[in-house]
Amino acid sequence: MNTVRKILSQLSLAVFLAAGLVAVAAADLPQTREDGVTVIHLDEYNGYFAAEETLASLKAGEYEFVVTNKADKLVGFQIQELGTHKRLDMFPLEPGETRISRVTITEAGVRYRCPINVTPWYDLDIIN
């Protein structure tokens, strides 16, 4: 009986991991427009952000973060250079509001968070 439980447990884990890999692989890559600006869409909820595109393998350059407030209250968006913590942009967002933050990302990377409904910093530190 223990052997059957072990096999079922390992099978469940394998299915869970495979589903996670499929979800990651299905994430869209950020699109770069003809003007060279790469667009990243972020939805902000109560206490966390969700990205529509994968944030892996970003390159240094011009970016637009399209941030939408999906919470039912006032939230904000703050983005900084990762190494220096120099503020690149910061603004509030009313419920349902979308705003765009255009920034230059260097090889040092950036980090972002909500300064109003405080979230952890989201570090984008692997910039090629």
20-66, pLDDT tens digit by residue?
A: 433 444 468 899 999 999 999 999 999 999 999 999 889 999 999 99
- Each residue's pLDDT tens digit, 2-13: 655 555 455 444
Q: In terms of pTM, does the model score above 0.95?
A: no
Out of 2.60.40.420, 3.40.50.450, 3.40.50.970, 2.40.128.20, the CATH code matching 28-124 is 2.60.40.420
| Domain residue extents for the chain | 28-124
Res 56: pLDDT = 86
The pLDDT, as a whole number, for residue 21 is: 39
Cα separations in angstroms, 109 against 13, 47, 105, 120? 34, 22, 6, 16
Q: Are 109 and 119 in contact (CB under 8 A)?
A: no
